Each structure stands twice: as C-alpha cells, then as structure tokens.
Structure 1
Amino acid sequence: MEQDALPPSQLHLVRAFADHLRLERHLSRNTVVAYERDLVQLANFLHRSGSSLEDADRTTLRRFLAQQHTLGYARASIARRVGAIHTFYRWALADGRMPRDPSSSLGRPKVANRLPTVLRPSEAEALVEAPPIDGTDGGSGHQAAGRAVALRDRAVLEILYGSGLRVSEVAGLTVDSVDLARGRVHVMGKGSKEREVPMSDPAVEAVRQWLSEGRTVLATGSPSLFFNRKGRPIGPRDIRALVE
C-alpha cells in the first residue's frame, strides 16, 4: 500500500477506520487489509487531485472508480471498493469525523443482461458521475459549447456506468445505436458481433438530453453519437481523458 506519500491526517483516518473494522466489527484480517488497501488507493487518488477524504464528493468518488476500470480491475474488485467506500464514510459520519457522507447515493456495479457475446470481468463497467452542466466559459458561443460538452460527458459516462461497454465501443456508437424508447443500445463488438445492452434510466435521460440540447452544437455530418469540441467523432482517447 502506497502510504508514504499521503499526508499524516489521511493516514490517521485510514488507520482509525482499519482499527474500527478489526476491533469493533471483528472482521477478518484479510477483509481489513483489503478495505485498508482500497481506502489508501482512494486517498492517493484524491491527494494527487489536490483533494482529500474529507473533501471528496460523489463526482470525485465515481471518477476514482472509473479510473479503476480503465486500469483493468475486475468487476468484483470495483464492487468491493464501492463497499469499502460506503463503509468508511458511514463510519466517519457516525463517528463525527465528517459532516456528510458523499457515498450515500453511490451505486455498485450492476451485471446487465446481455446477448451471448458478453464482456469479460476485467472489462467491468466504469462507475462515473457526470460533470456539472454549467456554462462558465464566457460569451454565448463558448457557453453553448461548454454546455454541449458537459451534456456529452454526462451521456458518455452514464453509458459507461450503466451498460459496461468498452471505451472503444462507446466511441463507435452512432445515433441509430441507441433505442431510448426501449432503453437499449446496440453495440458492434469485436469480430463485428452485435449485441444489445440495457441502458440505465440515468443513461437514457442523459443521452436524450444530449441529443436534444447538445449534439447539434458540436455535430458535423457524421452519424456518430458523440463528438469532440472540434466537431470530430469522439475517440477512445477523448473518453479515457474523462476519467483520468
């Protein structure tokens, strides 16, 4: 566990939490070690971002979990990290160490029903939170572009979260790939094999808003579902940048 780079206050929190698990909840050594490792990884992520366990919000927590996905962690590992985060913040709130629990509405990974061509566990869905939708870029043209990008990012991340697609698959989606009425997305995977994947309700709403309010601002003549600021179809590198 990379504890050396953490500020003493963060190490103290993590160790106090581990003591709670061991001495008060009487969890096994392996479970305590796993939870402590998960919290150290989170604390390191927050520290590198200029934040802390005390300052984290739901958006930051889901970005951390999304990063774990991009690093190749399995679905079970990501689900355990969600459990560790929930347990930590509930304890910290109850113990008076924090005024709020930013993990209270943080969801666990869901295993979606899929056609026979399924994703491997190492390709577990990213857990992400959409960036705030605001128009803080300045003039009206910049405001429109900024809002469009925020709507796009929310839709991209909710599809990753709710459907467990590969980054390359999200980049390859077209407008015709999504069936919002049925809450399904058609994906062309490896070997040109097509499968139909359920969309979460937040993903359906995010894509609907992107299509009605954001896509026309960035889109060119391509049938691609998502575009970058330059009007080109979004690529895997653009998507990975959202969670790093």
Structure 2
Amino acid sequence: MGGVSDLPAALAVPLEDFCTHLRADLSRSTHTVDAYRTDLTELFTDLAAHGVTRLGDVGLADLRGWLARQRGAGMAPATLQRHWASVRVFFRWTRAEGLTATDPAAVLRSAKVPKRLPRTLGIDQARQILDDAVAAARTDETPGGARDAAILEVLYGSGIRVAELCGLDLDAVDRARGTLRVLGKGNKERTVPLGDPGMRALDAWLGRRGEWLTAVSGDAVFLGARGGRIDPRVVRRVVHQHLRTDAEAPDLGPHGLRHAMATHLLEGGADLRTVQEILGHESLATTQIYTHVSTERLRKAFNQAHPRA
C-alpha cells in the first residue's frame, strides 16, 4: 500500500488538513492521528484504484464496496469497525467544513464485533508481581530497579494511562494528599489517588533519580537511562518483563494494569462513577465493561462453589 504522497492531490490535501484538525483543534495524540491517517490512506488508495479520485465523487456505494473488499480479504471485525469509525468521523468533518455537499458515510453500517471481556490479573497475582518488583529493586545497584518498581506501582495504583505516566512532572506529585495530577486525553487535567505502596515506590525512585539526571531531564518524574523523559515503549517493555515472571499471568501491557486496577476497585465495592472519574473516561459506558468482568468472575465462582448451581 502506498502512502499519502501517492494519492491524488484532491484526496491527499483534505486528508492532511483533517489530520491537522485532529492534532491542533482536538488535541488528539500522535498515535491517534497516525491511525486515522493510515485508515483513510487505505480507503483513498482503494477508491483511486477503482476510479474515484475526487472527494466529492465518493458515495455510499464506494464506501460499502471498500468495506466489503476488506471483509472478503479476511480483515478482523474489530479492524473493520475501526476503519468504519475513521470514515464516519472524516466525512462528518468534510461535510461540516463544506468540502463535500453531503456525508456519504452517515448511514454506513459498522461490522459486528463480538464482545470479549478484557483479560486481567487476579488480585493475588497483581500483589505478587508488584511485591517481587519492589524486592528486586532493593538488590539492583542501578536506579533501574527502583524506577521499574515505581512504574508498576503507579500504573496499577492509580490506573493512569502510559502517556499520562510518561508526562508526569515533579510538581504533579502531592505527597500530603497522596495524589497525582495528570494530563489526560484532550488535554483534560484530573487528580487521581495513589496509595501508600505506590507513593513509597515513587519516593524510592525519586531518591535515585539524580543518578540519571542530565541537562535534558527537565521536571520529568520518570527518566530513561540517558536522562531524558521516559519513552512509552520503555514503559511497555518494563511491564511485559515483570508480568512474565508469573507463568500464569496473561501477557498484558500497561493498559492491562489499568484494567486490573479498575476491576479490583469494583470488586472491592467502589461505585462505577468513582472508577469513571479515576480513569478519566468521558462516558460511563466505557467504564461499565469492568462490571462485566466482575460479574463474570462472580458467575464462575457461583458455578464452582454453589451446590445448586
């Protein structure tokens, strides 16, 4: 598949203008913008191959044909749904901007995606993995062990996203209140609690942060080995490495710790609105998936233990 530069100008220019809109007006992350660009480049490459080279010529039948060809090629329903969503958002924008007279995607139907519960850690699994990381940090002669233990404790303890963790600055840590101030999606700021184990691990890392401090460190809480603000890829590697120490734990990334934290909060009696606020979800429906996880665990326990199940 070619890139944006291989598209006809009548398609490439509005595509890049749309990406600028996502980044500048909606404050979408680089990852999100790249995903939209990739999806729409695939669409326009396909349409151009079928003779549609101008935005105003795109019709509902063209979009349905593109999705049908992807489905026929074996594309997963979840990927098809993401492509559908990208197309819907793009053409809603072109209509609002007057770039198209109509919105050809307004009645475009999405692919059916089977609902799957997210895999997650058990409470005992999470506790053991975190305890092991903290213990390993005590014997590590480098600051790396303390940093990694703090990463795990903060991700699980507060439920923040990877980008939010990487963006933490020193003045975002409020020890007196036991909270972190994070900048979430859409540049929305919120304050999240962090328990005592998380704060202790964070303090242990900050006590050694100076060993990696350089001129480029700035106020970043978490640093890479060369002193710069930590990269999300490093955070993901750290999480995967530590989760692999438990052979029975699912192979989750940082978002898996966020899932686990939310699930464990609900299982412990927290109300859904509180969990929504901690996670920074705009919609309560997004948070409700964790009630499904908890309900599924209750059902399994019931079936295994109840004499009349």
TM class, shorter-chain normalised? 0.3 to 0.5
TM-score, normalised to structure 1, is 0.45
If you compute each CA radius of gyration, which structure gives the higher value, 1 or 2?
A: 2
Larger helix share, 1 or 2: 2
Greater relative contact order, per chain length (Cα 8 Å cut-off, separation 6+)? 1
TM-score, normalised to structure 2, is 0.36
